[in-house]
Structure 1
């Protein structure tokens, strides 16, 4: 028996094996189907997908073998990877000086006599292991079988690349999740820490105005009003941030029985609408099983936007709802200022505003619609905008029906 030498650039080859991160993983159907096909096409009792590390030849997939690995010193595949561009075929291992004293060959019950192995390469050309077939008697592959085995080897290489790309994407996703978690915690901490000083500033402005207004001229009163209004604007901004980063904490699986019109009437009461406004609710008081808090916050934000971004003497808001087997579908239409076409693609992104100023002359913070999008998606739905500048906006969104729904 002749033990195989190490391939050229063995350290780089081993690093390529480590980068694949597949050693000692569980069986996978995508790999097992290839070894099954290889065994059938080549008419061989054994087919393996192997990965060779520094000490062993490990089997990612196997057909017709009870063992899951072999020592590298006695492995046929370790010889095969020495010539990575060509298939190694051993028609009678008992007469080949490299293998005739090999314990895998000399086993009296299942001694390997035939071997054909296709090296599996990474994109840099480093051999990671093989796709191989074995027989317990002398044998040979014909031209078509060899071509098929090489083609199956290419499929394994493609699976390896998909695996690496999926792992890279998973690592990126985990990193983003961790960064988002840190950002949420940071935003929540900072926002909470700012709320009390802001409340004190707003209260102090009211106290100063009440106590010293007689001693201040019009300009001084205006400064106090500006101070209070700035505090209220910043407070709204902070509350919006808190809503945005806490919106991911809604649990879609928390289900309550909701009557839509009752929910909408409660929201309208909370908004304390002062402007001349007509809000038309759906004709039927639809019963919904869903997350009341999340759905309520979606409607609160959308109705509030219809009120704020509207320059009509009379505001008109129409709310409608339909249902099918999978979704509840909602729409909120208004006669407001509309959204410019160039903004409609980005309107649901964080810090994107509908207009420079709202009905009261205040600048929006661009958090509400991004929060709405997160909430709708957490409820298994989607949201879109249909708008024409100067003529109004219709927001359409859906939520997935619960299994509890009638």
Structure 2
């Protein structure tokens, strides 16, 4: 018997194998289907997806045997991986000097036939084999060999899919951790800023009341500017806290309500000017859902339609439909619109489109990101249709509750 040699790239090969993290993983139907097909096509009683580690072979999938692996120094597959580009076929192991005296050839139910195809990673490193065994002398015809190689290619695709999924899981874990840190940081900083900011705004009001007859117009303008800046920063901080707070879908109350009743309450809160026309849906849809979450969505979208509008008369149209699975809504306006090249990132945090709103103030780019987050937490999605200077339509859906 001749023990298999060690490949020249063994260190790289083992590193790739460890990154795959497949040894001792649970059985999977995708692999088991391949070994069963390999046995059927090659007309052999045994087929195995074998992983070659530093000292042992481990069977990721096996058909026709209860053995789960073997020492590498007596393995057939240890020889197979030495020629990564070739199928290794042993018609009669009892007559091959590499396997004469091998315990699998001389023991109970001795193996006589073996054929194996190396399983390569995306760099061409052999990680294991797809192999078939028989207790009798055997050979494969060309069609069988071609089929066995094709099945091996499918195993390689499964390996690559596993590798990519692991990378995605690791990235997701890192992203979740980073988001957690960012959320904690934003919350801490925002809360720490709110008290001194409130004091600054209050001090500006006190200065105006107590010293209005002692400060000239320029001085009062500075005080007004100080207060305005404080209020702007306060809005920004509240937006940050709102964005990173728990999903409203998880904290709000699910109840039955009429959409138009909610919209009328929102319009009252926004104190709509006389030059604004808001047309509610013709059908006062009865909705079962999270009132605070849905209200926050409409509050933000309607507010944006009011702020980013340069028309003498503002017109906002709200519509709704329903189907078996979703409520579907739209909010359209005749405002400034959004240029095509800026639409892709409109829902990204801190992304702003317009330089200033109707009142000459610059937005913070938090509202629409929060809206998207809430809509998705409600099981829906949101999209926009817009042309510059021709208005914007926001369409969003929420999944129906059954209570």
Question: What band does the TM-score fall into relative to the shorter chain?
Answer: over 0.9
Normalization by structure 2: what TM-score? 0.94
Q: 2:389 maps to what in 1?
A: 390
Q: Conserved in 1, the CA contact under 8 Å of 2:288 and 2:401?
A: yes
Q: How far 1:274 moved relative to its partner?
A: 4.5
Q: Conserved in 2, the CA contact under 8 Å of 1:91 and 1:115?
A: yes
Q: Counterparts of 1:254 and 1:18 in 2: how far apart (Å)?
A: 48
Normalization by structure 1: what TM-score? 0.93
Q: How far 1:175 moved relative to its partner?
A: 1.6
Give the unaligned 5+ runs of structure 1.
Answer: none
Q: Counterparts of 1:106 and 1:319 in 2: how far apart (Å)?
A: 82
Q: Which range moves more in the overlay, 244-253 or 319-328? A: 244-253
Summarize the alignment of residues 115-194 of structure 1 with structure 2, pairs less than 5 Å apart.
115-194=114-193
The alignment partner of 1:214 has SS state of coil
Q: Counterparts of 1:51 and 1:393 in 2: how far apart (Å)?
A: 57
Give the unaligned 5+ runs of structure 2.
Answer: none
Q: CA, structure 1 residues 32+276, in 2 after alignment: closer, same or farther (shift >3 Å)?
A: same
Q: Conserved in 1, the CA contact under 8 Å of 2:187 and 2:241?
A: yes
Which string of whole-angstrom CA distances, capped at 9 and with x for unpartnered residues, describes residues 120-168 of structure 1?
1223332211110001122111122112112221222222122212222
Which string of whole-angstrom CA distances, capped at 9 and with x for unpartnered residues, describes residues 168-203 of structure 1?
222222222221221111111111111111111101
Summarize the alignment of residues 359-398 of structure 1 with structure 2, pairs less than 5 Å apart.
359-398=358-397
The alignment partner of 1:120 has SS state of strand
Q: How far 1:278 moved relative to its partner?
A: 2.7
The alignment partner of 2:396 has SS state of strand
Q: How far 1:263 moved relative to its partner?
A: 1.9
The alignment partner of 2:315 has SS state of strand
Aligned length, in residue pairs: 403
Q: 2:297 maps to what in 1?
A: 298
Q: Which range moves more in the overlay, 386-395 or 66-75? A: 386-395
Give the aligned CA root-mean-square deviation in angstroms: 2.0
Q: Conserved in 2, the CA contact under 8 Å of 1:282 and 1:320?
A: yes
Q: CA, structure 1 residues 339+126, in 2 after alignment: closer, same or farther (shift >3 Å)?
A: closer
Q: Which range moves more in the overlay, 269-278 or 171-180? A: 269-278
Q: Conserved in 1, the CA contact under 8 Å of 2:42 and 2:132?
A: yes
Q: Conserved in 1, the CA contact under 8 Å of 2:252 and 2:292?
A: no
Which string of whole-angstrom CA distances, capped at 9 and with x for unpartnered residues, describes residues 11-68 of structure 1?
2221121122111111112211211111110001100010011121000111111121
The alignment partner of 1:284 has SS state of coil
Q: Counterparts of 2:368 and 2:84 in 1: how far apart (Å)?
A: 56
The alignment partner of 1:125 has SS state of coil
Q: Which runs of 4+ in 1 moved over 6 A?
A: none
Q: Conserved in 1, the CA contact under 8 Å of 2:252 and 2:293?
A: no
Q: 2:58 maps to what in 1?
A: 58
Q: Counterparts of 1:225 and 1:252 in 2: how far apart (Å)?
A: 38
Q: CA, structure 1 residues 274+297, in 2 after alignment: closer, same or farther (shift >3 Å)?
A: same
The alignment partner of 1:358 has SS state of coil
Q: Conserved in 2, the CA contact under 8 Å of 1:31 and 1:61?
A: yes
Which string of whole-angstrom CA distances, capped at 9 and with x for unpartnered residues, describes residues 201-258 of structure 1?
1011001100000101111111111110000011111111112222646439973323
Q: Counterparts of 2:280 and 2:201 in 1: how far apart (Å)?
A: 36
